[in-house]
Amino acid sequence: MYSGRHQGHHHGRGRKQRRDWNAGNVVFVVLLLVAGFVLLDIASLHEGTIILGGASNVGRVTLQDPRTTPDIRRSPAEVDIVRQEPLGPPEGSSNGGWSLDSGEEDAGPETSTERHPKSEGEHSTTADVKTTESTKRGAPPARTGSSKQAASRGSEKREDDRIKVDRLTARLSSTKVVLGKERTVTNSRLTCGGSHTVQWRSYRELRDSFIDKNKLYRHLPPKSVSLLDFAKAVDESPCFKSHRYNYKHNNCTFVPPAEEQGANQQAELCAVVGNGGRLRQEFHQDAIDSADIVIRFNQGVTQGFEKHVGTKSTIRMYNGPYISPKQPGEITIAQIREMAIRAWVKQAQKHEQEHLAFMFDPDFICHAWDWVDRKGEKPSSGLVGIILSLRLCKHTNVYGFQFDEYFNTSIRPHYYNWERPKPGRENVHPFAEEKRLYKMLEKEGRLTLF
């Protein structure tokens, strides 16, 4: 048994050992902190650059922040390219520097290999290192991983675009343009039915818009027709030589062609004429009038603006239930997406067999939307017109499409008036995707933008 004195003595020794141990622990932690600060100071020396080697062989190694450095997976062959490089140019070289900027954007296979001096305060993101034997022999510096990846992504994107255009073009050749009676009597579903683009879900719902189906059938052709054959027949007929819009007033009988357009039947050149106000400063009469097919939109008149937009008009597209042409011999096609079909039929009844009026097959509008991957609520009339031209012609010239100016309040929206588009319209149509599509088609040689 321990006495109280011995117990107090042992308790005193325990407290002293704990105090000694705690003091040692504090010293150890302080040393770790000091070592950490020393390492941080070394890493931040010369703003992230550590000087290595003696006076005869000085090089730099750049430490990159993993939060801002792209995650680039380099192959062993690529890693082998990066060696220690002397700060100065190789002996006998006239080049003032050999650093390779990994932030350089690759412009494709024909990108220049010229290196420009860095601006003041700009720091390299890649080590200035010793060149390999192949570089010493005069071989050009290898691309970094990031520029190779950018070039690869760009090449893959262009190839994907080409595949997409080929696939959609093949489908377009078999897509019916004009709505015929034979389609409305089927129960086929519409490929984009139930959307803002086409509200009917099927052709059955379309014909059920009428209690008396014959009201609809009487104003539709038996089947989809060839607009090329129609345009040719109109051009050759004496019925449309007068300055009257209604050929019935000429005491003339016009027999329309009944055949559908063949898959490979195309004219040489289409002109798609938009309504952009910029056309007031441009002069395209000769080019537009020399086209085989001229497509116009809505209220885009020619009278008074002939030197700007030409005089010829083959097809007029309406974004609504309208049928009347703006000049003799025009074929009108209405984009009908919903119950406005009743108003179109009412107009057709009023002008019974007086005009050359058709409706787009709703699935053709769906197909046009597919060209922009169904972005936005619905395709613009301009996009539908351009897809129509790709069906009708081998090449298309596009005029008066002002993508970036249409909603600018200081710029004329239309060449014929100042009517401003409704607020929010820019959020309805996928204008950015449509513009990218037109640029891609231009690169592919399918159309030319003026």
Query: Which pLDDT value is given to residue 412?
Result: 84
Q: What are the tokens at 163?
A: 């595949």
Residue with structure tokens 């140019």? 89
Quick check: 238 and 277 in contact, CB under 8 A? no
Q: Which residue has the higher pLDDT, 351 or 35?
A: 351
Q: Are 231 and 332 in contact (CB under 8 A)?
A: no
Handedness of CA 369, 373, 377, 379 (dihedral sign): negative
Spell out a b/e string for 398-433, using b for 16 or more CB atoms within 10 Å of the CB, else e: bbbbbeeebeeeeebbbbbeeeeeeeeeeeebbbeb
User: What Cα–Cα distance (Å) separates residue 252 from each residue in 76, 227, 313, 330?
Assistant: 81, 21, 21, 16
Q: Using CA atoms, how far apart are residues 281 and 415, in angstroms rounded to an integer?
A: 9
On the CB side of 210, CA atoms within 13 Å amount to 20
Of the candidates 337, 338, 342, 312, the one whose C-alpha atom is nearest the C-alpha of residue 325 is 312
What angle is formed at CA 66 by the lines to CA 62 and CA 72, rounded to 5 degrees?
90
Q: Give the percent of the chain with pLDDT over 90.
A: 45
Please give the C-alpha separations between residue 188 and each of 211, 371, 384, in angstroms, as whole numbers: 20, 22, 22
* Domain annotation covers residue 86: no
User: What pLDDT does residue 405 have?
Assistant: 65
In angstroms, the CA 1 to CA 14 distance is: 19
Of the ranges 64-68, 117-121, 352-356, 439-443, which one carries the lowest mean pLDDT score? 117-121
For 230-251, give the DSSP string.
HHHHHHH-GGGSSS-S-GGGGT
* Residue 146 belongs to some domain of the structure: no
Q: Which of 431, 317, 328 is nearest to 376 (CA)?
A: 431
Arithmetic mean of pLDDT over the chain: 75
User: Residue 205 above 70 pLDDT?
Assistant: yes
442 is a domain residue: yes
Domain of residue 220: give its range: 177-449
Are the C-beta atoms of residues 281 and 398 closer than 8 Å to each other? no
Total domains in the chain come to 1
Q: Poorest-confidence range of 12-16, 177-181, 206-210, 220-224?
A: 12-16
**Pairwise CA distance, residues 336 & 319, whole Å:** 7
* 3-state secondary structure at position 60: strand
Residue 410 pLDDT exceeds 70:
yes
pLDDT > 70 fraction of the chain, expressed in percent and rounded = 66
The domain that holds 346 is classified in CATH as 3.90.1480
Determine, yes or no, domain membership for 72.
no
The answer to whether position 31 is within a domain reads no
Domain-embedded: residue 193: yes
- CA 4/CA 11 separation, integer angstroms: 11
Cβ-count burial of 67 within 10 angstroms (0-12 exposed, 13-18 middle, 19+ buried)? exposed
Residue 154 lies in a domain: no
Q: What is the pLDDT of residue 283?
A: 95
The pTM of this model reads: 0.66
Greater pLDDT, 174 or 23: 174
What is residue 220's predicted lDDT score, i.e. its pLDDT? 93
Span 149-162, average pLDDT: 74
Does residue 161 fall inside a structural domain? no
Is residue 225 within 8 A of residue 256, CB to CB? The reply is yes
Tokens for 63, please give them.
């430490």
72-120 residue pLDDT tens: 344 444 434 333 444 344 444 333 333 323 333 333 333 333 334 343 4
Integer Cα distance of 365 and 336 in angstroms: 9
Q: How far apart are CA 225 and CA 450, in angstroms?
A: 30
Contacts of 97 (CB under 8 A, 6+ apart): 89, 115, 117
C-beta neighbour count of 267 within 10 angstroms: 18
Helix (H) or strand (E) holding 94: none
Report helix, strand or coil for 331. strand
Higher pLDDT, 372 or 127: 372
Q: Which residue has the higher pLDDT, 25 or 103?
A: 25
- Gap between the Cα atoms of 408 and 426, Å rounded: 11
Number of H helices, E strands in the chain: 14, 9
